[in-house]
């Protein structure tokens, strides 16, 4: 479920980054106030555990295939939602930096999709609700299963929305949802089963680990309201502040709004787009650089308005692109040659 940078527009990326930063700041504040200083290394170690556990292949019965763990629910059940969310954020940052799983720009989206729903929705409203009368293996099983499935379903739906708002793929909303939700239902069931087995094992071997977390957190609707308020404020500020970016970018929110909400383009951004086009036209080095007679005719009138493919530019771009590559290769070759000479002279 890791989203790559390539699927994200800067507007969506930065908006989600600030929303995630808001939730993380709130979590930090909460764990600082009831700080058990042993929790910091514990968070680190459990984060590393999830990292390692994600590599365990669990055989899925009757299918012959195997799946792996997401780990959000285990972190929350053992650390509580705030520390769990922060531990998940660390894991995802390391995965993005060292393994290219998810990207830096998509980091906020990934933490939100994989951390927020499990820690702040599934855990307090499903897991805690089912286990409120006391822990036993039956309760733990049902609570883990349902919260893992719901957490993953919400996360997957979030991926769909973020991708559509970024407008990087052609997938229509309905198709994308129909692709994502059933796949993540299957993954969620495996995740739920594995999570339930692990939490049950820990509960039988060391019940105090789970009981401590269960006793330390009292959940009401208050903290969620605060988070949601912060979420809305951050989204409005960042979304509003960066909307100019979406307007210059012919591929931003508007396309997806049209696709998703069946609304027409906002007139203001259309004007903005025109203004920017005029500025760009005036400042362009090669304003009329185009292949004559290759105007796109097969694309219908309304599709051609925005976004459009300029074939003339594409063809010229291919040639230019090839030259760019050639130039890049040449530079690489020259630098390498110089370096080799330097090495040889240094060894002499």
Partner 1 sequence: MTNLTSALYNIRLLDDLAKKNTPIHALHPLVKLLTTVIYLAVVMSFGRYEISNLLPFIFFPLFVTLFAELPLMPIVHRLLVVLPLIIGIGILNPIIDNHTVTILGANFSRGWITFLSLSIKCILSVTVGIILIATTGIDRLAVAMRMLKIPKIFVLQLLLTYRYITVLMEEFLRMSQAYSLRAPEQKGISKHNWGSFAGQLILRTFDRADRVYQAMLLRGFSMEYNVGRIEKANFKDFAYLTGWCLFFVIARIYNLSLFLDSLISGVVK
* Residue 332 in the binding site for partner 1 (CB under 8 A): yes
> Which residue lies nearer to partner 1 by CB, 102 or 151?
102
Cβ at position 100, least distance to partner 1 in Å: 4
Asked if 327 touches partner 1 (CB under 8 A), the answer is yes
The residue from 91, 111, 152, 164 that contacts partner 1 (CB under 8 A) is 91
Among 215, 222, 261, 319, the residue binding partner 1 under the rule CB under 8 A is 319
Cα dihedral 159/164/170/176 (nearest 10):
40
- Evaluated on CA atoms 22, 24, 29, 30, the torsion sign reads positive
Query: Smallest distance, Å, CB 221 to partner 1?
Result: 26
Q: What is the DSSP letter of 58?
A: E
98 binds partner 1 (CB under 8 A): yes
Q: Is 182 in the site for partner 1 (CB under 8 A)?
A: no
6 DSSP 8-state letter: G
Nearest to 134 by CA among 230, 239, 211: 211
- Dist CA 245 CA 99 (whole Å): 29
**Do 123 and 146 touch, CB atoms closer than 8 A?**
no
Single out the residue of 93, 87, 85, 94 nearest to residue 112, CA to CA.
85
**Residue 265 is a binding residue for partner 1 (CB under 8 A):** no
Among 232, 237, 284, 337, binds partner 1 (CB under 8 A): 284
Q: Which is nearer to partner 1, 258 or 313 (CB)?
A: 313
103 touches partner 1 (CB under 8 A):
yes
90 binds partner 1 (CB under 8 A): yes
Q: What is the DSSP string of 95-111?
A: HHHHH-SS-STTHHHHH
Among 205, 215, 222, 262, binds partner 1 (CB under 8 A): 205
- Is 207 a binding residue for partner 1 by CB under 8 A? The answer is no
Q: Give me the residue label for tokens 């060391």.
A: 206
Print burial letters for 233-260: b (CB count within 10 Å at least 16), e (below 16). ebeeebbeebbeebbebeebbbbbbebb
Which tokens hold the place of 30? 């909460």
Contact characters 128-167, partner 1, x per CB under 8 A: ---------------------------------------x
Does residue number 100 form part of the binding site for partner 1 (CB under 8 A)?
yes
Question: Cα(226)–Cα(321) distance, rounded to whole angstroms?
Answer: 50
For partner 1, the closer CB: 125 or 316: 316
**DSSP letter assigned to residue 242:** H
* Count of residues near partner 1 by CB under 8 A: 119
DSSP per residue over 259-281, as a string? Answer: HHH--PPPHHHHHHHHHHHHHHH
Site residues (CB under 8 A) for partner 1, limited to 46-75: 46-49, 51-59, 61, 64-66, 69, 74
Residue closest to 5 by CA, chosen among 162, 190, 138: 162
Partners of 59 in the β-ladder: 66
Q: With binding defined as CB under 8 A, does residue 303 bind partner 1?
A: yes
Q: Which of 22, 80, 168, 210 binds partner 1 (CB under 8 A)?
A: 168
> At closest approach, how far in Å is the CB of 135 from partner 1?
15
The span from the first CA to the last CA of the chain, in angstroms, equals: 53
Q: Does 298 bind partner 1 (CB under 8 A)?
A: yes
Fill in the per-residue mask, 1 to 40: x = in contact with partner 1 (CB under 8 A), - = not in contact: -x-xxxxxxx--xx---------xx--x--xx----xx-x
What is the nearest approach in angstroms of partner 1 to the Cβ of residue 264? 19
When binding is defined by CB under 8 A, the residue of 26, 121, 227, 250 that contacts partner 1 is 250
Q: Are strands 58-59 and 66-67 parallel, antiparallel or unpaired?
A: antiparallel
Q: For residue 89, state whether it binds partner 1 (rule: CB under 8 A).
A: yes
When the beta carbons of 143 and 194 are compared against partner 1, the nearer one is 194
């Amino acid at each position: 479920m890791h989203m790559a940078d390539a699927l994200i527009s800067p507007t969506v990326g930065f908006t989600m980054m600030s929303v995630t930063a808001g939730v993380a700041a709130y979590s930090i504040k909460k764990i600082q106030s009831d700080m058990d200083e042993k929790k910091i290394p514990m968070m680190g170690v459990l984060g590393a555990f999830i990292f390692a556990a994600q590599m365990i292949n669990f055989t899925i019965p009757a299918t012959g295939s195997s799946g792996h763990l997401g780990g959000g629910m285990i972190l929350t059940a053992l650390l509580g939602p705030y520390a769990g969310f922060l531990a998940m954020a660390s894991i995802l940052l390391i995965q993005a930096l060292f393994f290219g799983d998810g990207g830096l720009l998509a980091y906020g989206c990934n933490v939100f999709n994989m951390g927020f729903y499990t820690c702040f929705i599934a855990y307090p409203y499903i897991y805690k609700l089912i286990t409120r009368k006391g822990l036993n293996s039956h309760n733990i099983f049902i609570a883990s299963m349902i919260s893992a499935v719901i957490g993953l379903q919400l996360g997957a739906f979030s991926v769909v929305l973020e991708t559509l708002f970024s407008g990087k793929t052609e997938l229509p909303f309905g198709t994308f949802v129909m692709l994502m939700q059933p796949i993540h239902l299957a993954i969620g069931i495996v995740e739920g089963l594995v999570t339930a087995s692990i939490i049950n094992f820990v509960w039988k071997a060391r019940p105090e680990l789970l009981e401590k977390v269960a006793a330390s957190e009292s959940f009401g609707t208050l903290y969620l309201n605060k988070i949601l308020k912060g979420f809305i404020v951050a989204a409005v500020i960042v979304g509003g502040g960066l909307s100019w970016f979406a307007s210059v970018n012919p591929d931003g929110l508007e396309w997806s709004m049209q696709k998703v909400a069946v609304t027409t383009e906002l007139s203001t951004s259309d004007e903005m787009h025109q203004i920017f086009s005029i500025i760009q036209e005036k400042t362009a080095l090669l304003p009329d650089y185009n292949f004559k007679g290759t105007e796109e005719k097969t694309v219908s009138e309304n599709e051609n308005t925005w976004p459009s493919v300029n074939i003339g530019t594409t063809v010229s771009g291919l040639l230019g692109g090839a030259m760019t590559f050639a130039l890049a290769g040449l530079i690489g070759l020259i630098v390498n040659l110089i370096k080799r000479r330097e090495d040889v002279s240094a060894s002499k």
